[in-house]
Amino acid sequence: MNNNLNNINDKTKIKSNNNKKRKKIILVSLILLMLLIFLILFIFFINNNKETITNDNNQVENNKPLTELEKKLLELENINEKLDFFKEENIDRYIDYKNNNPNLDLEKVIVYVNIGLDQEFYSKSYPSPNQNTSKILTNKFYSLTEDYVPNDLETIDSNFSSGSKEMVKEAKDAFEKMAKDAKSEGYNIRAVSTYRSYEYQEKLYSNYVKADGVEKADTYSARAGSSEHQTGLAVDVDNITLSYTSFGKTKEYEWMQKNAYKYGFILRYTKEAEFITGYQEEPWHYRYVGTEISTYIQNNPMTYEEYFVRFLDK
């Protein structure tokens, strides 16, 4: 009997101990769980606080008043970040030109202002850049002095010119090769006007003014110092049979349209670009710029002015 009671007591004690152990385990587990939850909440709070601080800082930054320059750049949609030929000194001119031409693409606004199209032709004159190279730019904004004579002028082979005509050697060699290749295919390309001195252009332009007045003369003739012919890189051509003014109606013109760029020449004055160049269409006037530039312009039609401000005016 006593043994049974002892056994019952032992079992009761064991059970009681087990219950205590389970309670301890549960309590410890709850404490650990609470600590874990606390830790998670703490980490969340810290991170959230950091974001709040960051956002507050950003808010402070964003609330800073814009500078005048920043306002102007914003008006131009921060296009300065996209175009490496953007000129900060022209920013007011960009904005004025944009406002005066609201339907014009913003990139063209930058290009046209850099060319100078927001101003009257001949209103300002700068020395022609890249003198004595095939990259020279001479137009109604960039001009040459009275004493400018290009280096390396040479006479063109008489088989491909009317009378004694000179061009810079590099351009002359390219023209002769082009004319020779055209001849082998049954086309006649002849140089009828090439290098002209400042004095010659001055007299020529003066005669045109006497005949037609300044306004009209300016549409088809350059003022002295502004003619590409003074660079020794320009050539007016005919097909021997017809006057050069009829060159646009000839099969030779079609050949030049397809092949001139291969020899480094571009058609300089097109009808589409009259507002850029300031000259009427001249299907006979070609300019030597080298094959790298001529090939680019052939594949991406644009004037030399546009090419210059995009890639050379740095």
Amino acid type, 172: K
- Is residue 194 within 8 A of residue 235, CB to CB? The reply is yes
- pLDDT on residue 25: 74
pLDDT at 57: 42
pLDDT in tens, 130-152: 999 999 999 999 999 999 999 99
Cβ contact 185:237 at 8 Å: no
Query: Residues for the chain: how many in total?
Result: 314
Reduced to 3 states (helix: H, G, I; strand: E, B; else coil), residue 188 is coil
**Residue 281 CA neighbour count, 13 Å, CB half:** 8
pTM as predicted: 0.80
Span 293-314, pLDDT tens digits: 999 999 999 999 999 999 999 7
Which residue would you say has higher pLDDT here, 256 or 6? 256
CA R_g for the chain? 40
The answer to whether residues 296 and 308 touch, using CB atoms and an 8 Å cutoff, is: no
Lowest mean pLDDT of 19-33, 94-108, 217-231, name the range: 19-33
Cβ of 222: how many Cβ atoms within 10 Å?
24
> What's the pLDDT score for residue 40?
75
Banded pLDDT at 234 (limits 50, 70, 90): very high
Q: Which two tokens stand for residue 21?
A: 């152990």
Q: Which H or E run includes 206?
A: helix 198-212
Q: What is the pLDDT of residue 55?
A: 46
pLDDT above 60: residue 209 = yes
Is-contact 244 198, C-beta < 8 A? no
pLDDT digits (tens, 9 = 90+) for 56-102: 444 445 678 999 999 999 999 999 999 999 999 999 999 999 999 99
User: What pLDDT is attached to residue 3?
Assistant: 54
HEC sequence for 79-112: HHHCCCCCCHHHHHHHHHHHHHCCCCCHHHHHHH
| 123-312: CATH topology | Muramoyl-pentapeptide Carboxypeptidase; domain 2 (3.30.1380)
Read off the pLDDT of residues 28-69 as tens digits, 9 standing for 90 and up. 677 777 777 767 776 766 665 545 444 444 444 567 899 999
Chain segment 246-277, per-residue pLDDT in tens = 999 999 999 999 999 999 999 999 999 999 99
Top-confidence range, 7-21, 33-47, 192-206 = 192-206
Domain boundaries, the chain: 1-64, 68-119, 123-312
